[in-house]
Amino acid sequence: MASVDKPTPTTHDQQDTDADVKTVTEAALFEAFGGVRGMVETVLPGLLFVSIYTLNKDLHLSAIAALAVALVLVAVRLIRKDTVKHAFSGVFGVAFGVVFAMMTGNAKDFYLPGMLYTLGLALAYIVTTLAGVPLIGLMLGPVFKENLSWRTRNPGRKKAYAKASWAWGLILLAKCAILFPLYWWADTTQLGWVLVALKIPPFLLAVYLTWVFLAKAPPPIDVFAEMEAEERAEEARKQAAEREA
């Protein structure tokens, strides 16, 4: 008697599955990192600060303008009822920079809190990866509805998250290696324009590498769907028990 084998996925089916994984990964990265709008909100306050300071060397006017545009970006998101986490992070970053620069009277200090944050974030990516809990996995796990299941149940994704976290950490360290010497040796306008120029390219490179690593990784385990299935199964068992009683 001939055995009945399970259908073997065709090459076309596999290509469709790979395309779905890549599409989901792109959407998740877009949501996690804010997309084009998030990049604009990140760049615009610093760009406005250095533009005004280049023209008139007025620290107060430059700082107030940068903070004002950051607040406007948050207000627009609130009015449109959009996600505000990226805009709020921009406001806090600008506010710290404004306060620091005003306290020291040195316009370059407007950039220092953001530079220190970048250095801290780079170290966080590296340290968490060495500890076995790569930061990218902690950030993207909820977005992919897998939470921390990748740590013990999906080693392929854990490896991909580790690679992505190494990429983020090393790229941000390279950025810091350029900016911190300029903080000491360059003037405010030189530092400002270099910093603006380095806002987007390293970010895009890190996001692209993250997409490459995750697109090749096994699909995420949807722990929310698993919990819902368990709840439905438990409810079915209770109903069956009630009928038998």
* More confident of the two residues 24 and 188: 188
Q: Is the four-CA dihedral 49, 55, 59, 60 of positive or negative sign?
A: negative
pLDDT of residue 5: 43
Angle (CA) 175-179-185 rounded to 5° is 155
Q: Indicate the domain borders of the chain.
A: 31-105, 111-240
pLDDT of residue 238: 77
- Tokens read off for 26: 């792109």
Distance CA 107, CA 51 (A): 13
pLDDT at 145 over 80: yes
- Tokens read off for 140: 């993207």
pLDDT tens digits for 110-123? 999 999 999 999 99
pLDDT at 16 over 60: no
pLDDT at 135 over 50: yes
pLDDT at 54 over 50: yes
Distance CA 196, CA 39 (A): 11
Note if the pTM is more than 0.85. no
pLDDT of residue 34: 66
pLDDT of residue 143: 84
* More confident of the two residues 21 and 66: 66
* More confident of the two residues 156 and 79: 156
- Are 45 and 69 in contact by the 8 Å Cβ rule? The answer is yes
Tell me the average pLDDT across 200-208.
Answer: 91
Percent of the chain clearing pLDDT 90 (strictly above): 45
pLDDT of residue 14: 45
pLDDT of residue 170: 98
